[in-house]
Amino acid sequence: MPQRLRSFIGTILIICLVILYALLATTVATLTLATSPWWVHLLYFLLSGLLWILPAMLIIKWMAGPRPRD
């Protein structure tokens, strides 16, 4: 697969990932954290704000293509 196409597909996937993940994280927060103290909200949004990076890293690794052999 050409590098430009791989980068284009990866960019679209990351945008979709971020949008869907933000909607899911916000929905979970509003359904479960309604009466929780402020520090629980802080911890939840801190962790959920960092968690999307893991699948994004996999997409970016795929976008970079195979490693060149020495």
Look at residue 6 in the predicted model and tell me its pLDDT.
93
Please report, for residues 13, 36, 46, 68, the alpha-carbon distance to residue 8 in angstroms, rounded to integers and kept in the order given: 9, 41, 29, 21
pTM to 2 decimal places: 0.79
The pLDDT value recorded for residue 26 is: 92
CA separation for the pair 21, 44 (Å, rounded)? 14
| pLDDT (tens digit per residue) in 18-70 | 999 999 999 999 999 888 999 999 999 999 999 999 999 999 999 988 877 76
Rounded alpha-carbon distances, angstroms, from residue 45 to 11, 38, 48 = 24, 11, 5
Given a cut of 80, whether residue 14 has pLDDT beyond it is yes
